[in-house]
């Protein structure tokens, strides 16, 4: 669960750099890392596409090819060097909604041009995506995929690209009892199948209407079959039922060669591996996901909010959380802890458990409740008959209030169980250091109890192996309004954010990081180690070469794009050292 959000691109602030270095010379990836040379991806290809080719593409996608015009255009007198007629009324609306997540989630583009693609297709069919790949192959134009636009790393945008906006691809959902994936012989359980444009809200609700529940993320508009599953997909229910990648049973995908294929544990297994943790927007375009449901059960909810703790009390509370983490994890507790930080006065603990009765839950949390009793009255323990009610009452409202359009720097660490058991005090020290690290935008720590049940052993996904032996996913994050924050402060904030986890990283050598919520500018070696592990990375690069030999689908920091420079990433500063 996140207290803030970024719906456009984390690198909006760098639009000036972007225009200044629009077409830097290509370079090659590091062969030692198995990287793919990027020179096969020349820069201003999009500028060479003749108008009649755009017209033909537009016709082939039913007139749904649109210009990637910045939503803030009415506020500017000049656009790309040409005069632009300002429209004060329209500008007022945009200005008022500039940081509104609801407004931005339904826009293809951001406030300024920056990293925004030149054109996009509002995808409504598999054929639209196939047409786009045919066009991109012919004209060597990079393709980016955008869904909810929630990505923190700018990976659903790309300068001088053609974007596939899949947000509106929502064919009718189905619920299949005893679902048998294509090519398999045995049923895998009850499964929901839905289109990639669906947000969690609709899928949670649909599961509930079928007396079921699913493992899912906190924000109602994150797309389960988009970047969430591509990165791994964590959930407060993961300690009981596993990550998203453990629960997905089948994906239907358009590959860059235009074929529409099915990937599951019986068919196209390598592709299925890559699509689950290898990173979104890299191997193909997911159109449809078939996803395991779990029987609807009673769920326990615990929320404790501490106001204005002293530094000593904050340390004591962190100690309670660290000391109890292993037991709580084994009992099925997941959730979100938000220590007080630079811009957050309260320390909030939110826990969910689908395994325990209310008496068992109270007994299990006794140490936390004892600690809280003299410090706060803000303690809630409640039993819900189903997850949907718990979600809509407690989690969804806070997610819908989040602001969009912010700049964001964050760093992530998956903290192994061994650190909780062997070095709990040093772990608390490292977390306190993270909270206290100064940064121009302030930093806020989040401790997410969202790692997967360790009884899952057959997942074979590309998500970091560190998920399998970790108890917490810790994030430290800073956010700012790009309109009021200098480039120098932005760069400094990214550096401070990374530095804040330096001690934690040294303390957790067997840990890793979550690709979707990790450092945007990790150097290639660290990215390989933290996001995938070397073995998975090598397998992913082989799969990438097979499915996308022309590198039509590249994302910053993704497979096939690590370490090399590329015009598509010219809006990103170099902060990898």
Instruction: Choose between 348 and 372: whose C-beta lies nearer to ligand FAD.
Output: 348
Instruction: Choose between 181 and 256: whose C-beta lies nearer to ligand FAD.
Output: 256
Instruction: Choose between 5 and 503: whose C-beta lies nearer to ligand FAD.
Output: 5
Buried b (16+ CB within 10 A) or exposed e, 26-65: beebeeebbbbebeebebebbeebeeeebeebbebbeebb
Binding mask 160-189 for ligand FAD (x = CB under 6 A): ------x-----------------------
Measured CA to CA, the distance from residue 303 to residue 326 in angstroms comes to 19
Binding mask 503-532 for ligand FAD (x = CB under 6 A): -------------xx---------------
Instruction: Choose between 145 and 513: whose C-beta lies nearer to ligand FAD.
Output: 145
Does residue 500 interact with ligand FAD by CB under 6 A? no
Instruction: Choose between 317 and 555: whose C-beta lies nearer to ligand FAD.
Output: 555
- Only one residue has tokens 């996009």, namely 120
* Total of chain residues touching ligand FAD, rule CB under 6 A: 36
Does residue 222 interact with ligand FAD by CB under 6 A? yes
Q: What residue ranges in 417-483 does DSSP mark as E strands?
A: 444-449, 470-480
Instruction: Choose between 146 and 294: whose C-beta lies nearer to ligand FAD.
Output: 146
Does residue 544 interact with ligand FAD by CB under 6 A? no
Does residue 451 interact with ligand FAD by CB under 6 A? no
Q: Considering only residues 285 through 304, tell me which ones interact with ligand FAD, judged by CB under 6 A.
A: 285-286
Long-range contacts of 260-267 (CB under 8 A, 24+ apart): 260/126, 260/130, 260/287, 262/181, 262/182, 262/183, 264/181, 264/182, 264/183, 264/184, 264/290, 265/181, 265/184, 265/460, 266/181, 266/182, 266/183, 266/184, 267/181, 267/182, 267/183, 267/184
Instruction: Choose between 121 and 223: whose C-beta lies nearer to ligand FAD.
Output: 223
Measured CA to CA, the distance from residue 367 to residue 324 in angstroms comes to 8
The stretch among 134-142, 225-233, 363-371, 420-428 that binds ligand FAD (CB under 6 A) is 225-233
Phi-psi region of 5 (alpha: psi -120 to 50; beta: other; left: phi over 0): beta
- Interior CA angle at 436 toward 431 and 442, to 5°? 115
Instruction: Choose between 208 and 517: whose C-beta lies nearer to ligand FAD.
Output: 517
Does residue 396 interact with ligand FAD by CB under 6 A? no
120 contact partners, CB below 8 Å, separation of at least 6: 65, 66, 68, 108, 146, 162, 163, 164, 165
The stretch among 146-154, 201-209, 316-324, 429-437 that binds ligand FAD (CB under 6 A) is 146-154
* Interaction site with ligand FAD (CB under 6 A): 2, 5, 144-152, 155-156, 166, 196, 217-219, 222-223, 226-228, 230-231, 233-234, 280-281, 285-286, 399, 402, 516-517, 555
């Amino acid at each position: 669960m996140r207290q803030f959000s970024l719906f456009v691109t984390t690198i909006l602030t760098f639009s000036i750099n972007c225009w200044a270095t629009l077409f830097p010379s290509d370079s090659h990836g590091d062969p030692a890392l198995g990287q793919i040379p990027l020179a096969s991806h020349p820069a201003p290809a999009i500028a060479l596409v003749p108008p009649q080719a755009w017209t033909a593409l537009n016709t082939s996608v039913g007139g749904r090819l649109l210009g990637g015009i910045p939503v803030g255009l009415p506020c500017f007198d000049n656009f790309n060097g040409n005069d632009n007629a300002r429209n004060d009324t329209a500008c007022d609306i945009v200005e008022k909604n500039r940081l509104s997540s609801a407004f931005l989630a339904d826009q293809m583009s951001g406030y300024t041009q920056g990293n925004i693609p030149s054109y996009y297709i509002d995808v409504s069919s598999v054929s639209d995506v196939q047409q786009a790949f045919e066009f991109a192959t012919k004209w060597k134009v990079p393709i980016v995929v955008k869904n909810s636009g929630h990505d923190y790393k700018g990976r659903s945008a790309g300068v001088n690209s053609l974007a596939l906006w899949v947000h509106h691809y929502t064919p009718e959902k189905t619920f299949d009892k005893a679902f048998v994936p294509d090519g398999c012989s045995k049923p895998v359980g009850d499964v929901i199948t839905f289109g990639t444009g669906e947000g969690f809200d609709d899928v949670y609700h649909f599961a509930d209407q079928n007396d079921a529940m699913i493992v899912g993320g906190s924000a109602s508009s994150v797309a389960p079959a988009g970047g969430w599953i591509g990165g791994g997909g964590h959930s407060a229910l993961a300690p009981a039922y596993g990550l998203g990648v453990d629960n997905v049973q089948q994906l239907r995908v358009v590959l860059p060669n235009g074929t529409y294929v099915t990937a599951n544990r019986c068919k196209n297994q390598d592709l299925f591996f890559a699509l689950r943790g290898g990173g979104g927007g890299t191997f193909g375009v997911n159109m449809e996901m078939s996803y395991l449901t779990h029987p609807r059960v009673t769920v326990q909810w615990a929320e404790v909010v501490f106001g204005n703790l002293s530094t000593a009390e904050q340390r004591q509370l962190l100690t309670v959380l660290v000391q109890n983490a292993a037991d709580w994890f084994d009992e099925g507790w997941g959730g979100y802890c938000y220590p007080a930080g630079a811009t957050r006065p309260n320390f909030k603990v939110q826990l969910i458990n689908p395994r325990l009765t209310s008496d068992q839950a109270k007994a299990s949390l006794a140490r936390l409740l004892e600690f809280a009793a003299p410090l706060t009255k803000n303690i809630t323990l409640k039993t819900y008959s189903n997850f949907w009610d718990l979600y809509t009452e407690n989690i969804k409202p806070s997610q819908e209030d989040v602001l969009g359009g912010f700049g964001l720097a964050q760093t992530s660490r998956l903290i192994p169980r061994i650190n909780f058991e062997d070095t709990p005090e040093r772990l608390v020290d490292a977390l306190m250091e993270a909270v206290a690290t100064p940064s121009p935008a302030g930093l806020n720590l989040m401790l997410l109890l969202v790692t997967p049940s360790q009884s899952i052993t057959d997942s074979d996904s590309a998500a970091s192996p560190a998920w399998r032996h970790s108890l917490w996913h810790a994030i430290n994050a800073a956010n700012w309004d790009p309109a009021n924050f200098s480039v120098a402060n932005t760069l400094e904030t990214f550096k401070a954010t990374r530095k804040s986890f330096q001690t934690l990283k040294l303390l957790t050598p067997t840990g890793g990081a979550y690709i979707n919520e990790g450092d945007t500018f990790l150097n290639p070696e660290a990215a390989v180690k933290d996001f995938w592990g070397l073995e998975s990375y090598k397998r992913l690069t082989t799969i990438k070469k097979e499915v996308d030999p022309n590198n039509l689908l590249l994302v910053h920091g993704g497979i096939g794009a690590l370490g090399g420079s590329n015009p598509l990433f010219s809006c990103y500063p170099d902060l990898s050292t």
